[in-house]
Amino acid sequence: MVYLGIEITILQSTTAVHTAKEIKQQPELWLDIFDDFKEKCNDLKSFISSYCGDINKILLTGAGTSAFIGLSLKGNFYRTFGIETFPVPTTDLLTHPLDFISKQDSVLLISFARSGNSPESTAAAELCDQIASTCVHVIITCDGQGALYNFETRSAKFTILLPEASNDQSLAMTSSYTGMLLAGILVANYQNIETLEAQVHLLAKCGNEVISGYNDSLVDISNKPFDRAVFLGSGPFYGTAREASLKLLELTGGRVVSTMDSYLGFRHGPKAVVNENTLMVYFLSNNSYVHQYEIDLIKSIRADSNPLWSIAIAPSALGSGVDTDTEILFTGGNSIIEEFLSVAYILPIQILSFHKSLNYGLRPDNPSTNGVIHRVVQGVNIYSPNGIFN
């Protein structure tokens, strides 16, 4: 058996088999998630109709990678529900709850968590219950034994448990991230679920083509001597860029220092990070209006900076006059809704980060050689708010 071009015996000897399998399985997992969601969709419609009529604020929350899902989904939820929508990490919600919720708020709290066992997951949900006038919960998780899945909320709760394969065994979140992101998109578009099947199948097709067609190119890029990386994305791809930055940092054990920004934001100072050891990665929109700003920035980087290598992850070829070193193209991507495209766009970076981890002699399933990071965060104490709501 071969995963990401490597025999399973070698993957086992390098403690890499879980990460490789969990990256490769994602397109099939997306189809399973969609099929499961179709069966639950009528129940979700009834839940939203019964409990969400007075909602005036939507919060999308999670910790670490799970928090970045909200960055990709906030626009979709706002456009669909017409309600102010904010991506707020549990790590912010827990320390400064009154910056996001008041006693007058009726909140729909959508929580994302792989295991749901990070202490912040249930603590943040409990704080929202305590503060808001009403807090309706939608929980999207990968672990039916986890604390968040089994958390007893004060108000109504709807739980979406993803297939067991989504519950990554490796430290870095891969299947769990894209699976929960897809589930969140389906929740945002629950009223039109019957129209989205073709989108999900095209998404899975694109994913499989990228995994099989670009693995060798990504191996070659991983061998290049970059020690810093920049990821740029706007709209739903802002969340993708944030996750890509963390994935490379995690899987290389901090040996590659990475950062991210939007295309326009990057001009306002952060461009200073680019040097001859930098990998530039561009996540490109299929929206022609947005695309103009992206192309301007790519041309600017080529003209006044000297990165080691650049990758364009795009729905179609960039054309003449736009110079990047590698183009990773999602065939049919111009027909995929942007939020759906954000699910698949992370695949090349997962693969690149995996191979870079092996290049450093690390164990991708657990790349933290000094034990600084763990699959479930450790050392977080939860403190009583001591009447701050009064």
Distance (Å) of CA 390 to CA 102, 103, 305: 11, 10, 53
Q: What are phi and psi of 331, to 5 degrees?
A: -60, 125
Residues 6+ apart with CB under 8 A from 384: none
CATH classification number, 2-191, choose in 3.40.50.10490, 1.10.238.10, 3.40.190.10, 3.40.50.2000: 3.40.50.10490
- Helix crossing, 175-188 with 26-51: angle to 10°? 40
pLDDT at 249: 96
Asked whether the domain spanning 198-360 has the same topology as the one spanning 2-191, the reply is: yes
Q: What digits encode the pLDDT tens for the residues 49-96?
A: 999 999 999 999 999 999 999 999 999 999 999 999 999 999 999 999
Give the position of tokens 């695309």. 291
Tell me the C-alpha distance between 217 and 124, whole Å. Answer: 42
- E strands, the chain, are 2-3, 6-7, 57-61, 85-87, 106-113, 134-141, 157-161, 228-232, 257-261, 278-283, 309-314, 326-329
Specify the length of the chain in residues: 390
Q: Residue with structure tokens 């086992």?
A: 12
All residue ranges of the chain with pLDDT < 70 are 371-379, 387-390
* Residue 375 confidence (pLDDT): 60
Residue type, 337: I
Half-sphere exposure of 239 (CA within 13 A, CB side): 31
pLDDT score for 390: 58
Question: Pairing between strand 57-61 and 2-3?
Answer: unpaired
The answer to whether 140 and 187 are in contact (CB under 8 A) is yes
Given this model, what pLDDT does residue 381 score?
Answer: 75
Report the distance separating Cα 246 and Cα 257, nearest Å.
9
Residue 197 has which token pair?
């099947």
Tens digits of residue pLDDT in 257-293: 999 999 999 999 899 999 999 999 999 999 999 999 9
| Sheet with 309-314, edge to edge strand ranges | 257-261, 228-232, 278-283, 309-314, 326-329
Residue pair 108/139 in contact by the 8 Å Cβ criterion: no
Q: Return the number of other C-beta atoms located less than 10 Å from residue 41's C-beta.
A: 17
Q: At what angle do helices 338-345 and 197-222 cross, to 10 degrees?
A: 30
| pLDDT on residue 369 | 74
Contact between 200 and 31 (Cβ < 8 Å): yes
Which amino acid is present at 45?
Answer: K
What confidence score (pLDDT) does residue 388 get? Answer: 65
* Rounded-to-integer distance, Cα 162 and Cα 156, Å: 20
pTM for the complete prediction?
Answer: 0.96
Domain parsing of the chain, residue ranges? 2-191, 198-360
Buried b (16+ CB within 10 A) or exposed e, 72-87: bbbbbbeebbeeebbb
3-class DSSP state of 1 = coil
Q: Has domain 198-360 been given CATH number 3.40.50.10490?
A: yes
